[in-house]
Structure 1
Amino acid sequence: MKRKHIKKESWVCYLFVGLMAFVCFLPLWITFSASISSEADIVKEGFALFPKTPNLDTYQYIISNKGTMLVRAFGISFLVIFIGTLYSMVIMTTFAYAAAQKKEVFRFASAISFFAWFTTVFSGGILPWYILVTKYYGLQNNIFALFLPYGMNVFFMFILKSNFKAIPEELIEAAKIDGATNSKIFFIIALPLTKVGLVTIILFMALQYWNDFHLSLYLITKPEMYTVQKLLYNMMANISALLSGSKTVADAAHITIPSNTARMVMTMLTVLPVVAFYPFAQKYFVKGVTIGAVKG
């Protein structure tokens, strides 16, 4: 009787999770369906689950007219992900390791933890931040403006701090008895033992840099420095920016200039790298969710 009850609860959980997955997947599928539909069908019948006349005309149209812009935007985004994630991880791991130390080892550990927490509660606001990073730091219209302000994520730092605190003290003491320095303990013992947490935070930071458009919105005005998200934002806000200079091509080919389908294509081009990347990183996300869980 108990086994049947557990099985019934399992089916309820599977059904609920499956329903939530379907709800999350449905907008992506509608976007994909619209991206391979004709503009005339979208205008006449609206968005549908399945395209009436599937084609790749809009993909070809955008790539042929704005291919150079897209390639440059993808290049900028991937460069920012690589440099920014490495930069953020160096800052957060060293800060978290220092904050995780006992007072006898580093007497300012509690103080820097408090200051990190303090920044999550109180903020100077967007305007003082903008004046600081543009006037005093010179972070405008350069590659550094796209990752330097995101060097520290306090929430992720505290997760790493919890991972470092979970390292057995006996292991650290044994290493010190053998003559290991603090830097050697950090690189040889602490980092390998917190690999799951590190990889999880790396993935989250990479996604943060990929999805972010605020830095480029505030600090970038040159089109050649646009990231994919800033480019998508501009296209969504003003579709004529995407289709500017392309009417001659459209008139010569006797086709309707896409607007709705162009937005959907840009959305798919932005989402596809994440969709392709996620299956390989899924196991680390699952492990990352259970960081700090009680073992039974």
Structure 2
Amino acid sequence: MFALKRKTTGEVIFDLANNVFMLCICFITLYPIWYVLINAFNDGKDAMLGGIYWWPRMFTFKNFEAVFASPGIMQAMWITVAKTLVGVVAHVFFTAMVAYALSRKDLVGGKIYILMGTVTLFFGGGLIPTYLLIRDLHLLENFWVYIIPVLFSFFDLIILMTFFREIPEGLEEAARIDGANDWSIFLRIVLPVSMPVLATIALFHGVYQWNDYFTGMIYINNESLQPIQTYLYRVVAQSSSSQMMVAVQGSALTKTVTSQSIKLATMVVTTLPIVFVYPFLQRYFVKGMMIGSIKG
């Protein structure tokens, strides 16, 4: 048995200071989220008095009732869920397909394609040329503006391409001997063995799709096509919260909710779904990043 090495006084002090520092960072990071949450569950008129720091003083669901009473929020939530699901599937499949092609050593011009893609990591066309392109593609006021422009990501391609190059060539050779073509190899062999890295890319793009408010703000004027994050932007930055107050006038909610409490409740409604989903995909994220970034 080996005796455990006792820590020196300096090491103990360093560990203690490091733990205190990290706890402070965690508190600074998490407390604003907790503050929004407790005030969202507190009576709006009571919250105006202040003094709510740790727990709701007058717990209520009335703020959330007022949010869901708005006719537009459920439509915005549906658009967000639809664009996240469709966008993730389309993005992962399309990017994986291109990454598989570029991972092949016998692809003619493969290095040129990779060089062209690398340039896009550092330089972009800018907002105005992008808007003109979206307009000419007839994607303005169109649901597919959330999907088509982000079908491909060269950053995600690098992760996938690195992983695909680690797949043993013997698998493909055996499949070709059995008569499989490139599509069969890609769909029946490459994708099934690449689930960890595919889950990583799905998580990347899923979080992006859920949090994206800019696309709906720039390219969509029709409120029935705007996602929940654009809806939240309108509530927080514009007068939508006041319009929501008008929608609940005359009901019992008027006595308990305020414009500020509606804003906080809307923030919670738009944020919690992705917060709940993320921890379940975290292990795939870490594993996929390691597999896709380390070459053996």
The two structures share one fold, judged by TM-score above 0.5: yes
Unaligned runs of 5+ in 1: none
State the number of aligned residues.
290
2:34 is aligned with 1:29 = yes
Question: Does the 8 Å CA contact 1:164/1:190 hold for their aligned counterparts?
Answer: yes
Name the CA distance, whole Å, in 1 between partners of 2:21 and 2:79. Answer: 40
Residue 294 to residue 202, structure 1, CA distance change in 2 (3 Å): closer
How far off its partner does 1:268 sit? 0.4
2:123 is aligned with 1:122 = yes
Question: Does the 8 Å CA contact 1:73/1:228 hold for their aligned counterparts?
Answer: yes
Unaligned runs of 5+ in 2: none
Aligned-pair Cα RMSD in Å: 2.8
TM-score of the pair, normalised by structure 2: 0.87
TM-score of the pair, normalised by structure 1: 0.87
Name the CA distance, whole Å, in 2 between partners of 1:72 and 1:294. Answer: 43
Residue 100 to residue 11, structure 1, CA distance change in 2 (3 Å): farther
Deviations 1:137-160 (A, max 9, x none): 011111111221111111111100
Name the CA distance, whole Å, in 1 between partners of 2:256 and 2:145. Answer: 39
Question: Does the 8 Å CA contact 2:159/2:293 hold for their aligned counterparts?
Answer: no
Identity across the alignment (%) = 27
2:201 is aligned with 1:201 = yes
Name the CA distance, whole Å, in 2 between partners of 1:69 and 1:288. Answer: 37
Residue 11 to residue 108, structure 1, CA distance change in 2 (3 Å): farther
User: 1:58-97 maps to which residues of 2 (within 5 A)?
Assistant: 58-64=63-69, 66=70, 68-97=71-100
Name the CA distance, whole Å, in 2 between partners of 1:187 and 1:77. Answer: 28
User: 1:1-296 maps to which residues of 2 (within 5 A)?
Assistant: 2=4, 5=7, 20-45=25-50, 48-64=53-69, 66=70, 68-102=71-105, 105-134=106-135, 136-238=136-238, 240-244=239-243, 246-247=245-246, 249-250=248-249, 253=252, 255=255, 257-292=257-292
Question: Does the 8 Å CA contact 1:250/1:257 hold for their aligned counterparts?
Answer: no
Name the CA distance, whole Å, in 2 between partners of 1:226 and 1:100. Answer: 37
Name the CA distance, whole Å, in 1 between partners of 2:217 and 2:57. Answer: 37
Question: Does the 8 Å CA contact 1:247/1:257 hold for their aligned counterparts?
Answer: no
How far off its partner does 1:94 sit? 0.9
Q: Secondary structure at the match of 2:191?
A: helix
Which is bigger in relative contact order (C-alpha 8 A, separation at least 6)? 2
Name the CA distance, whole Å, in 1 between partners of 2:24 and 2:121. Answer: 35
